[in-house]
Amino acid sequence: MLVLYGLGTTIGAGIYALVGELAGIAGYLAPASFLVATIMAALTALSFAELSGRFPRCAGAALYVKEGFSSERLSLIVGLLVICAGLTSSAAIINGFIGYLNEFIQIDRSISIIALTLTIGAIAAWGIAESVSIAAFITLIEISGLLLVIAVSHSGLAALPDRWHELLPGMDTISWGGIYAGSLLAFYAFIGFEDMVEVAEETRKVRRNLPIAIMLTLAITSILYMAVMVTAVFAMPPEELAGSDAPLARLYEHYTGGNATVISIIGLFALINGALIQLIMASRVLYGLGSRHLLPAIFTQVNTTTRTPLVATAVATVVILAFALAGRLTTLAEATSLIMLCVFALVNLSLWRIKRRGPPPHGLIVFPLWIPIAGFLASMGFVMSEAIKLLH
3-state secondary structure the chain: CHHHHHHHHHCCHHHHCCHHHHHHHHHHHHHHHHHHHHHHHHHHHHHHHHHHHHCCCCCHHHHHHHHHHCCHHHHHHHHHHHHHHHHHHHHHHHHHHHHHHCCCCCCCHHHHHHHHHHHHHHHHHHCHHHHHHHHHHHHHHHHHHHHHHHHHCHHHHHCHHHHHHHHCCCCCHHHHHHHHHHHHHHHHCCCCHHHHHHHHHHCCCHHHHHHHHHHHHHHHHHHHHHHHHHHHHHHCCHHHHHCCCCHHHHHHHHHHCCCCHHHHHHHHHHHHHHHHHHHHHHHHHHHHHHHCCCCCHHHHCCCCCCCCCHHHHHHHHHHHHHHHHHCCHHHHHHHHHHHHHHHHHHHHHHHHHHHHCCCCCCCCCCCCCHHHHHHHHHHHHHHHHHHHHHHC
Check residue 190 and give its pLDDT.
84
With contact defined as beta carbons under 8 Å apart, do 198 and 125 qualify? Answer: no
> What is the fold of 2-391?
Amino acid/polyamine transporter I (1.20.1740)
Angle between helices 206-235 and 19-26 (to 10 degrees): 60
Find all residues with CB under 8 Å of 389, minimum gap 6, and list them: none
Check residue 369 and give its pLDDT.
92
Kindly list the distances between the CA atom of residue 318 and the CA atoms of 13, 112, 375, in Å, as whole numbers in the listed order: 20, 15, 33
Check residue 14 and give its pLDDT.
66
Check residue 316 and give its pLDDT.
93
Check residue 281 and give its pLDDT.
79
Q: Give backbone dihedrals phi and psi of 57, rounded to 5 degrees, phi first.
A: -135, 165
Check residue 59 and give its pLDDT.
62
Residues of the chain with pLDDT under 50: none
Max CA-CA distance within the chain?
62
* Span 157-199, pLDDT tens digits: 777 777 777 777 777 777 888 888 888 888 888 887 887 877 7
User: What CA–CA distance (Å, rounded) separates 53 from 211?
Assistant: 7
Q: Give backbone dihedrals phi and psi of 244, rounded to 5 degrees, phi first.
A: -100, 135
User: What CA–CA distance (Å, rounded) separates 303 from 314?
Assistant: 12
Kindly list the distances between the CA atom of residue 255 and the CA atoms of 16, 100, 103, 153, 270, in Å, as whole numbers in the listed order: 17, 19, 18, 6, 21
Check residue 317 and give its pLDDT.
94
